[in-house]
């Protein structure tokens, strides 16, 4: 199998390797390469030809000398002409202008390159980039592996070389063992969020798979297993829904996917391909509008691994890119040619057309052929239309806008879970551009940032460490020091969707994020995210596949004494969602309370979650109120041993009590008398200052004085 020489410079491109990830580094002028002094001299050959005697242009050589007046006039004219030409050459060298060359991208210029001014015309050209993936060798250890392929890597290398040398693409390649799931996701995540003037091409050659039950297709990365313990190892595959979300989140003006894998037609949905066009003006307009386009080697069917040197699909792509007549053509033109040729040779049905994502706005991915770094056709694109991004609200009514926004938020969560946080943030930013005060979008944004920085896991570990330390201090101090109240911890493990796959989990996750945000604002609670708890349980070998079962409750109770679990389900329907939640004590495993709510399709999740959070918080305060001994009394101001450690905030309301034990032999049997109402005015980590309105004379001693959190409408939510 013939592949490009990795150590040689190809025509118009230079190839390098970094830790097995190859990159075709291309110098570009819109679509042209930078012009060195040598190339500038060559570009002037037809107009300025220097003589060995001193560089006088041959077109202006003095004619044979003659006697008389004519001799002086002719020499004078020649001298003037010579000065004009030399002046032009000097000016060209100073300014960097050169006939037939328009502009270069200055940041890409090599040292010593003479820079050319950027013209308005070239600023309308997109920046052409490609991610080219080819996998022959699949990992075999750790379960049943995928069969090795013969031509996928060679196909990818040939495509990469052609795109770089003949079309001016900046190309990154991921080949064989370097094309892991993480590497592919990272590369696509970076590409999707780098500039809004890109024309991004993604080529994949490798195994593909299709799940009939889920109606879901997959690309198979190099490190994926086919089965583990007899079950499909789908967690290591790249789901088509993930690829579609990445493309939907892309900032690029154009995205074109070429997929040469079995069942790759499952990426395609519904839309019919655009009819071919041939007008130069049509291409110049089409390149200005955003597009998201797909060409696959087959539909929901296996495709051939190899023809002669390349797969049939890859060979026909190369033939068209290298040898077709048009110097300017679109993805649709390429797809139409491939459909005819591949079907004739193999019977495979090439699929082509716009991807069903909001980023497609009727444009086309347009190729402009080059030679030696220069475009072979005069091409003047019109000013580009701003990319649509992940949320299209033009001409939509309020319900459509809300639907697009909710879908964008769910997609952002899915991309975060898959390991593409940049694309996730890109989707969130589009939503916030529509409404900077969107509370749901802000809550999702906060979750993504916390997840990316592992803040939830670190906060949980820090809380556990502090609980252990304070417990030891209290035991060591004995009865001489009042026991420091433990913080009230709620692990928000629900709601979940009983079934439905990853998409369903994202719906449930959205509810948990909003509930967490609302619960923290309604009561002095330390709310723990499910994901942080799962991570920590696994790290401490306490993990369980089901956080709702009894073993998980015991493990959580071990880490977080006297904690609470919020469990439950969300059941979606066409009319809306039904939520069923229950509050469980980890120490007794008893269900302390149950809650239910319904959300109609047109209702906001924030409203339903806020109402639920109020009810849950009131019940928690009633069942487990914060209680601490007063440590100082100074007129209408007191201090107590509660603080930010307990998630206490300014404005929280407490009852000041006189608490006396009735019988020392009977613990927790106190005689209580209400002495006043206190409001928190200042909080530190382990103590707070409160203003008190006393019901009677101010106590002279702090002995037997306690503060107890007020429930219901008297304290919750302040």
Give me the mean pLDDT over the 204-224 stretch: 87
Domain chopping of the chain, boundaries:
14-27+116-375, 45-95, 398-453, 455-623, 627-714
Read off the tokens for 32: 């042209």
Closest C-alpha among 245, 294, 293, 716 to residue 519: 716
409 three-class SS: helix
Res 263 pLDDT > 70: no
Count of CB atoms within 10 A of residue 253's CB? 27
The reported pLDDT for the residue numbered 80 is: 56
Give me the mean pLDDT over the 571-587 stretch: 89
Res 690 pLDDT > 60: yes
> What are the phi and psi torsion angles at 463 (to 5°)?
-65, -45
The reported pLDDT for the residue numbered 298 is: 65
637 forms beta bridges with 634, 691
Among the ranges given (49-53, 599-603, 674-678), the one the predictor scored with the smallest mean pLDDT: 49-53
Do 377 and 352 meet the contact criterion of CB atoms below 8 Å apart?
no
Please give the angle made by the CA atoms of 314, 315 and 321, to the nearest 5 degrees.
90
Read off the tokens for 483: 């026991």
Work out whether strand 291-296 and strand 198-205 pair parallel, antiparallel, or are unpaired: unpaired
Q: What is the pLDDT of residues 627-673, one digit of tens each?
A: 999 999 999 999 999 999 999 989 999 999 998 877 777 766 778 88
pTM value is: 0.68
Do 199 and 253 meet the contact criterion of CB atoms below 8 Å apart?
yes
Q: What is the pLDDT of residues 125-154, one digit of tens each?
A: 889 999 999 999 999 877 788 899 988 999
CATH of segment(s) 14-27+116-375: 3.40.50.1460
> What are the phi and psi torsion angles at 372 (to 5°)?
55, 35
Q: What is the pLDDT of residues 412-422, one digit of tens each?
A: 998 988 889 88
Res 203 pLDDT > 90: yes
The reported pLDDT for the residue numbered 309 is: 78
pLDDT range class, residue 547, cuts 50, 70, 90? low
Strands (E), 602-684: 627-634, 637-640, 653-661, 670-683
114: DSSP letter: B
Give the distance between the most distant pair of CA atoms in the chain: 139
Count of CB atoms within 10 A of residue 380's CB? 13
Q: What is the pLDDT of residues 347-373, one digit of tens each?
A: 777 778 887 776 777 788 999 998 877
91 three-class SS: helix
Length of the chain: 718
- Taking 3-state DSSP, the helix, strand and coil percentages for the chain, each rounded to the nearest 5, stand at 40, 25, 40
28 three-class SS: coil
The string of DSSP codes covering 497-534 is -SSSHHHHHHHHHHHHHHHHHHHHHHSS-EEEEHHHHH
Element (H, E) at 133: strand 127-134
pLDDT exceeding 90 applies to what percent of the chain?
A: 28
What contacts 357, CB < 8 A, 6 or more positions away?
Answer: 244, 247, 248, 292
Q: What is the mean pLDDT of the chain?
A: 75
> Do 14-27+116-375 and 455-623 fold alike per CATH?
yes
CA atoms of 29 and 461, how far apart (whole Å): 53
Res 15 pLDDT > 60: no
* Residue with the two structure tokens 């969560």: 413
> 627-714: which CATH architecture?
Beta Barrel (2.40)
pLDDT range class, residue 82, cuts 50, 70, 90? low
CA atoms of 79 and 573, how far apart (whole Å): 89
The reported pLDDT for the residue numbered 26 is: 39
The reported pLDDT for the residue numbered 303 is: 54
- CATH topology classification for 455-623: Rossmann fold (3.40.50)
What contacts 32, CB < 8 A, 6 or more positions away?
Answer: 101, 102, 103, 104, 168, 370, 373, 374, 375
The reported pLDDT for the residue numbered 9 is: 33
Give me the mean pLDDT over the 214-221 stretch: 85
Examine residue 675 and say whether the peptide bond preceding it is cis (omega within 30 degrees of 0): no
Element (H, E) at 354: strand 351-354
The reported pLDDT for the residue numbered 515 is: 92
What contacts 399, CB < 8 A, 6 or more positions away?
Answer: 602
> What are the phi and psi torsion angles at 288 (to 5°)?
-80, -20
CA atoms of 710 and 614, how far apart (whole Å): 14
Which residue has better confidence, 446 or 268? 446
Burial code (b: 16+ CB inside 10 Å, e: under 16) for 310-346 equals bbbbbbbbbebbeeeeebbbbbbbbbbbbbebbeeeb
pLDDT range class, residue 306, cuts 50, 70, 90? low
544: DSSP letter: -
């Amino acid at each position: 199998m013939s592949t490009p020489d990795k150590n040689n410079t190809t025509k118009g491109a230079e190839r390098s390797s970094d830790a097995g990830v190859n990159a075709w580094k291309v110098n570009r002028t819109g679509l042209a390469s930078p012009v060195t002094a040598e190339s500038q001299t060559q570009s002037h050959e037809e107009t300025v030809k220097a003589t060995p005697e001193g560089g006088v242009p041959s077109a202006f050589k003095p004619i044979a000398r003659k006697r008389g007046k004519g001799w002086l006039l002719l020499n004078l004219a020649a001298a003037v002409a010579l000065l004009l030409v030399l002046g032009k050459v000097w000016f060209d060298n100073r300014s960097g202008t050169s006939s037939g060359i328009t502009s270069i991208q200055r940041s890409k210029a090599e040292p010593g390159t003479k820079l050319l001014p950027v013209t308005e015309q070239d600023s309308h050209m997109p920046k052409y980039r490609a991610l080219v993936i080819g996998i022959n060798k699949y990992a075999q250890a750790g379960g049943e592996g995928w069969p090795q392929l013969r031509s996928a890597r060679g196909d990818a290398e040939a495509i990469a070389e052609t795109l770089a040398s003949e079309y001016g693409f900046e190309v990154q390649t991921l080949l064989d063992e370097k094309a892991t799931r993480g590497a592919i996701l990272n590369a696509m995540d970076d590409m999707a969020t780098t500039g809004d003037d890109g024309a991004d091409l993604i080529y994949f050659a490798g195994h593909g798979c299709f799940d009939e039950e889920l109606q879901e297709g997959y690309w198979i990365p190099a490190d994926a297993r086919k089965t583990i313990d007899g079950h499909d190892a789908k967690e290591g595959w790249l789901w088509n829904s993930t690829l579609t979300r990445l493309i939907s989140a892309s900032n690029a003006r154009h995205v074109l996917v070429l997929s040469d894998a079995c069942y790759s037609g499952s990426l395609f949905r519904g839309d019919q391909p655009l009819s071919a066009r041939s007008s130069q003006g049509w291409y110049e307009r089409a390149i200005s509008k955003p597009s998201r386009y797909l060409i696959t080697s087959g539909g929901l069917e296996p495709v051939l691994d190899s023809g002669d040197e390349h797969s049939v699909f890859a060979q026909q792509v190369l033939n068209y890119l290298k040898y077709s007549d048009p110097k300017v053509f679109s993805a649709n033109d390429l797809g139409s040619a491939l459909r005819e040729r591949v079907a004739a040779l193999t019977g495979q049905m090439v699929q082509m057309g716009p991807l069903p994502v909001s980023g497609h706005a009727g444009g086309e991915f347009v190729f402009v052929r080059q030679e030696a770094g220069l475009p072979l056709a005069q091409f003047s694109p019109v000013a580009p239309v701003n990319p649509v991004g992940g949320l299209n609200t033009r001409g939509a009514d309020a319900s459509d806008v809300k639907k697009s926004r909710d879908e964008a938020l769910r997609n952002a969560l899915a991309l975060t879970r898959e390991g593409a946080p940049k694309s996730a943030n890109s989707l969130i930013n589009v939503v916030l551009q529509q409404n900077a005060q969107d509370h749901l979008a802000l809550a999702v944004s906060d979750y993504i940032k916390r997840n990316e920085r592992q803040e939830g896991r670190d906060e949980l570990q820090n809380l556990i460490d502090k609980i252990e330390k304070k417990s030891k201090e209290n035991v060591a101090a004995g009865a001489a020091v009042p026991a420091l109240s433990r913080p009230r911890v709620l692990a928000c493990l629900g709601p979940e969707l009983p079934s439905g796959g990853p998409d369903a989990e994202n719906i449930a996750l959205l509810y948990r994020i909003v509930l967490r945000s609302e619960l923290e604002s309604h009561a002095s609670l330390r709310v723990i995210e499910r994901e942080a708890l799962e991570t920590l349980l696994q790290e401490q070998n306490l993990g369980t596949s089901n956080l709702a079962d009894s073993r998980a409750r015991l493990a959580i109770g071990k880490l977080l004494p006297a904690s609470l679990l919020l469990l439950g389900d969300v059941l979606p329907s066409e009319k809306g969602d039904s939520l069923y939640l229950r509050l469980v004590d980890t120490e007794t495993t008893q269900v302390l309370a149950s809650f239910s709510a319904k959300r109609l399709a047109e209702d906001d999740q924030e409203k339903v979650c806020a109402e639920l959070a109020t009810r849950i918080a009131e019940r928690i305060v009633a069942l487990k109120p914060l209680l601490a001994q007063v440590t100082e009394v100074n007129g209408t101001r007191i201090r107590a041993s509660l603080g930010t450690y307990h998630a206490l905030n300014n404005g929280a309301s407490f009852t000041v009590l006189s608490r006396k034990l009735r019988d020392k032999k009977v613990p927790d049997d106190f005689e209580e008398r209400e002495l006043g109402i206190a409001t928190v005015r200042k909080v530190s980590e382990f103590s707070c200052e409160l203003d008190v309105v006393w019901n009677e004379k101010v106590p002279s001693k702090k002995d037997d004085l306690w503060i107890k959190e007020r429930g219901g409408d008297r304290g919750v939510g302040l």
